[in-house]
């Protein structure tokens, strides 16, 4: 009887040890206690470890996953890493930036928060366009001088105008839907095969960008920044844009050439430009773009709203549950393409 009890006890301990061994360790950095508790609540198969930046290297050595912006040093230290969750949509800084190819060239699965911030970024893009077409920039200045402007108002109606949306992913499709709702004709530019939709007339490949630019009354930049999209809006492309058209950039500043945008504004080619993203960023004091009254510059905040953080944290939570259960993860990034 005593021997049987020992055997049962030993078996129990073995099972307990196996269960502990199967617990997946997930490291994250500087998250509020309530977020950690929420993520931990999804499964007892994971252990979420919240650390300060100086503790990452020590904790990641035996970790199975990491949530946040990971450094090349941390990738190399994480010998057991199987998954990295980027909390933003853009992944260029961890995949393609000089000296940060360790993650890109590894077997680690990378997921991000693509699509999650689409609604607010699309709202921001259309707000910038309407700021110009309804001449709100003029009336905003009038408030300071208490000027009740009585001269002819030459606002621009969006119905029937042409929008070119560069990047028809999660953000771009939201922009296209809103543009369509205003009665605009939408053409998408994307390297992927995008299904047909009532919200856009057609989708062309990036090598056809120059063919559609001359038709555009507004060009929206909503593509990820990759080696292929870098400066795809350059001097030639701005020259091809229609006189008195608009340029709106809300994804990444590296997709357009800033000096060429400044030239297009300075020459009077463009009626207005709205940028939430620049290259370099922050936009330096003294940069020529600041001087134009028909340019609006916001400090990379298009993705912020009263709803975005909950959705971003929710995506991470769902992926933690899936990782614990061995299920396919959401928003898996093609590391070579960069999105």
Contact 70, 100 (CB under 8 A): no
Could you give the C-alpha distances from 256 to 132, 216, 302, in angstroms and in order?
20, 16, 17
The predicted pLDDT at position 317 comes to 96
Q: Whose CA is closest to 303, among 130, 110, 125?
A: 125
Q: Indicate the SS3 state at residue 131.
A: helix
Cα–Cα distance for residue pair 17/28, rounded to 1 Å: 25
CB atoms within 10 A of CB 27: 26
Q: Whose CA is closest to 161, among 182, 175, 177?
A: 182
Q: Give me the long-range contacts of 85-88 (CB less than 8 A, separation at least 24).
A: 85/110, 85/111, 85/112, 85/316, 85/319, 86/110, 86/111, 86/112, 86/113, 86/333, 87/112, 87/113, 87/312, 87/316, 88/112, 88/113, 88/303
Cα–Cα distance for residue pair 229/79, rounded to 1 Å: 32
Predicted TM-score (pTM) above 0.75? yes
Q: Whose CA is closest to 265, among 284, 245, 280?
A: 245
Cα–Cα distance for residue pair 17/117, rounded to 1 Å: 41
Q: For every one of its 339 residues, what pLDDT tens digit does the chain have, with 9 covering 90 and above?
A: 444 443 433 444 443 444 445 799 999 999 999 999 999 999 999 999 999 999 999 999 999 999 999 999 999 999 999 999 998 888 888 886 655 678 988 999 999 988 888 899 999 999 999 999 999 988 988 988 999 998 889 999 999 999 999 999 989 999 999 999 999 999 999 999 999 999 999 999 999 999 999 999 999 999 999 989 999 999 999 999 999 999 999 999 999 999 999 999 999 999 999 999 999 999 999 999 999 999 999 999 999 999 988 999 999 999 999 999 999 999 999 998 888
Check residue 151 and report its DSSP letter. Answer: S
Q: Which residues pair with 25 in a beta bridge?
A: 47
Q: Which domains are delineated in the chain?
A: 2-115+308-325 (3.40.50.720), 118-297 (3.40.50.720)
The predicted pLDDT at position 17 comes to 43
Cα–Cα distance for residue pair 274/255, rounded to 1 Å: 14
Cα–Cα distance for residue pair 116/60, rounded to 1 Å: 27
**What tokens appear for 223 in the block?**
């593509």
Return phi, psi of residue 176, to 5°.
-60, -40
Contact 103, 70 (CB under 8 A): yes
Q: Give me the long-range contacts of 137-143 (CB less than 8 A, separation at least 24).
A: 137/272, 137/293, 137/294, 137/296, 141/293
Strand residues in 31-166 grouped as ranges (E): 46-51, 65-67, 83-85, 109-111, 162-166
Task: Please report the DSSP string for 214-231 in residue order.
Answer: GG-SEEEE-----TTTTT
């Amino acid at each position: 009887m005593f021997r049987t009890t020992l055997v049962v006890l030993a078996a129990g301990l073995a099972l307990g040890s196996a269960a502990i061994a199967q617990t997946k360790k997930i490291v994250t950095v500087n998250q509020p206690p309530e977020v950690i508790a929420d993520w931990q609540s999804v499964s007892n198969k994971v252990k979420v470890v919240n650390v300060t930046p100086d503790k990452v290297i020590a904790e990641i050595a035996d970790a199975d996953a990491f949530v946040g912006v990971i450094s090349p040093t941390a990738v190399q230290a994480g010998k057991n890493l199987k998954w990295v969750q980027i909390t933003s949509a853009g992944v260029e800084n961890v995949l393609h930036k000089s000296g940060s190819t360790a993650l890109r060239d590894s077997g680690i699965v990378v997921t991000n928060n693509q699509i999650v911030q689409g609604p607010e970024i699309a709202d921001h893009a259309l707000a910038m366009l309407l700021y110009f077409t309804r001449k709100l920039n003029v009336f905003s200045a009038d408030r300071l001088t208490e000027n009740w402007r009585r001269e002819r108002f030459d606002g621009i109606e969006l119905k029937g105008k042409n929008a070119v949306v560069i990047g028809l992913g999660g953000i771009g499709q939201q922009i296209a839907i809103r543009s369509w709702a205003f009665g605009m004709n939408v053409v998408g530019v994307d390297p992927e095969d995008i299904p047909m939709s009532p919200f856009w007339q057609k989708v062309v490949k990036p090598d056809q960008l120059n063919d559609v630019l001359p038709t555009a009354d507004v060009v929206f930049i909503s593509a990820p920044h990759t080696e292929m999209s870098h400066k795809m809006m350059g001097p030639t492309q701005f020259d091809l844009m229609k006189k008195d058209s608009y340029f709106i950039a809300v994804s990444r500043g590296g997709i357009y050439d800033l000096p060429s945008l400044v030239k297009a504004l300075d020459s009077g080619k463009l009626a207005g430009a709205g940028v939430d993203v620049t290259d370099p960023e922050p936009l330096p004091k003294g940069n020529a773009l600041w001087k134009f009254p028909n340019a609006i510059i916001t400090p990379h905040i298009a993705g912020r709203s009263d709803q975005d953080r909950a959705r971003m944290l929710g995506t991470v939570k769902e992926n933690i549950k899936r990782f614990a259960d061995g299920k396919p993860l959401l928003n898996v990034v093609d590391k070579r393409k960069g999105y």
